[in-house]
Amino acid sequence: MTLWSLLILGLPTANATERMRAWRTLKASGAAVLRDGVYLLPERRAGRETFEAVERDVLAINGTAFLLSLSEREERFSGLFDRSDEYARLMDEIAHNRADLTPDNALQIARQARKLRKAFGQLAAIDFFPGLIKAQADSALQELETAISRALSTDEPRAHDEAITRLARTDYQGRRWATRKRPWVDRLACAWLIRRFIDADAQFIWLDSPSDCPSDALGFDFDGARFSHVGQRVSLETLIDSFAVQQPGLARLAGIIHYLDVGGNQPSEAPGIERVLAGLRESIGDDDQLTMVAAGIFDGLLTAFASEEAQNG
């Protein structure tokens, strides 16, 4: 047997504002409508708290509200919470954006992908009886996010599995470091990390093609580079692990770079950071200058994240 929360409402007809507020809250909660004024949710903490809040609001305006618990077989009501049609519409939008994607509109499509990822998260939060289509939608989104990353950055490296060896920073001072020109998120973050925590005197070479990498240069973020994607790590995370860089706030920053480069669970700060970096990339044509300006952004983020961590204990 499954426990259910049942909310029965009677709202004053004259109070249209409160009626609309209650309706929006119940809709956002994913509640099923059994009939006018009768709402149902699986008995879970978040749903129960939503029903309790609506009950209080309705009683406060002299309406009627009854919150009850009900024990019934899951299959009797679970069909009322089928989200298949909503997932199907979401997947249609994902497919449409995937079909339209080109290197020229990749930033625009990236913004749409962030909205789609947010919509997926909202839908998943009220998918109380998930099926295969949820995983299919998530997979389609990840494929779109990966395609966008590759469109924004040609010759994007492919992940490979290998053991990461810990390296001594003293052996990597005053070196030349090479990566593909017109750096995007991962490469910008790598360049910042290298100068900030690994090799303060690093010189960067911006390659037209990975095959142009000089033999004495340390390549990063391209196929065959000394430091690139390893397993689930993006190049920034590979560098962090290779040189055992430990700084307050760095893991949080790396999580944002990981999401912006290959997708996954969206940190709340990611869309804003992406917009700032995209604006810099469009307005600054010199890669050395772009790297220096972006480094200031990463410095500020690291300081802010470290401060928040300290405050939260």
Q: Do 202 and 210 touch, CB atoms closer than 8 A?
A: no
- Tokens 């912006």 appear where? 260
Query: How many Å apart are CA 192 and CA 172, to the nearest integer?
Result: 15
**CATH topology assigned to domain 2-80:** Alpha-Beta Plaits (3.30.70)
For the chain, the domains span 2-80, 82-152, 169-311
Low-confidence residues of the chain: pLDDT under 50:
none
Q: Do 267 and 273 touch, CB atoms closer than 8 A?
A: no
Q: Give the class (CATH, top level) of 82-152.
A: mainly alpha
Distances 273 to 104, 181, 185, 266 between C-alpha atoms, Å: 20, 21, 10, 12
The whole-number pLDDT of residue 154 equals 62
Query: 226-267 pLDDT, tens per residue?
Result: 999 999 999 999 999 999 999 999 999 999 999 888 877 778
Identity (one letter) of the amino acid at 25?
Answer: T
The whole-number pLDDT of residue 155 equals 65
The whole-number pLDDT of residue 295 equals 97
The whole-number pLDDT of residue 142 equals 84
Beta bridge partners of 40: 6, 32
Query: What is the value of pTM for the model shown?
Result: 0.63
Query: 23-54 pLDDT, tens per residue?
Result: 999 999 999 999 999 999 999 999 999 999 99
The whole-number pLDDT of residue 248 equals 96
Q: Do 11 and 59 touch, CB atoms closer than 8 A?
A: no
Q: Do 202 and 227 touch, CB atoms closer than 8 A?
A: no
Type and span of the H or E element at 71 = strand 64-72
Beta bridge partners of 230: 160, 233
